[in-house]
Amino acid sequence: MKNRTLIISVATTCFALSGCMTTDGGQMAMDDASASAEVVQVGGADMFPTRNIIENAVNSPIHTNLVAAVKAAGLVETLSGPGPFTVFAPTDDAFAALPAGTVETLLMPENKAMLSKILTYHVVPGSVTAADLMQKIRAGGGKAMLTTVAGETLTATMENGSVKLQGKSGTAYVTQADVMQSNGVIHVINGVVLPQ
């Protein structure tokens, strides 16, 4: 009877462990999805709250222009840092709506300072959730003035149930809020707002 119990115990243990092994016998790493139930998707890609802004952004199929711009501006290290940061992240469609040739011109090495200023105009220090933003808008009598990392102001208001951002030039609406990151939060927006 002891042998039968030992065999069943070993078989059960092997069966349980087989779920943790790859087909070649190697140990599988636990993925981020099992680490948190708060995984959301952007553009059909998982965004893990245990990863930083850059680690998630590079996986978003609707932010390829933004990622290329961040790399060209030399902001990868900054946005991978501890933060926290609030990023209003324009989609590829938002960049495509700019006048023809704008993105290509901004990505040129000689325009790095201008590109950096535009990108940091989309970043606010601290972690500002949608609830925080709406509270700021209410407290400001329908308008919140957000000081960006670029040192200029973005104006946030509510319009038809959506948060509207007004730059010195350009308007954008938040299309997906509260994509939480290990070093802040991303709000997806449908336009590119520009500083002076």
Q: Which pLDDT belongs to residue 9? A: 35
The mean per-residue pLDDT over the stretch 72-99 comes to 93
**CATH, domain 36-189, list 3.40.1390.10, 3.40.50.720, 2.30.180.10, 2.130.10.10:** 2.30.180.10
Domain ranges for the chain, please list them: 36-189
Spatial distance between the Cα atoms of 182 and 189, rounded to a whole number of angstroms: 20
Residues near 72 by beta carbon (within 8 Å), at least 6 away in sequence? 106, 107, 109, 112, 115
Residue 12 burial by CB count (10 A; 0-12/13-18/19+): exposed, middle or buried?
exposed
In percent, the amount of the chain with pLDDT more than 90 equals 70
* 33-56 pLDDT per residue, tens: 444 447 898 988 999 999 999 999
* pLDDT of 3 above 90: no
Cis peptide leading into residue 99 (ω within 30°):
no
Q: Which pLDDT belongs to residue 24? A: 35
pTM: 0.79
Q: Which pLDDT belongs to residue 1? A: 44
* 182-192 pLDDT per residue, tens: 999 999 999 99
Six-digit token pair at 169?
Answer: 């030039």
Q: Which pLDDT belongs to residue 4? A: 38
* 107-166 pLDDT per residue, tens: 999 999 999 999 999 999 999 999 999 999 999 999 999 999 999 999 999 999 899 999
* More confident site: 16 or 83: 83
Q: Which pLDDT belongs to residue 196? A: 73
The neighbouring-strand residues paired with 112 are none
Going by C-alpha positions, the residue among 167, 125, 159, 123 that lies closest to residue 142 is: 159
Spatial distance between the Cα atoms of 51 and 182, rounded to a whole number of angstroms: 5
* More confident site: 18 or 187: 187
Residues recorded for the chain: 196
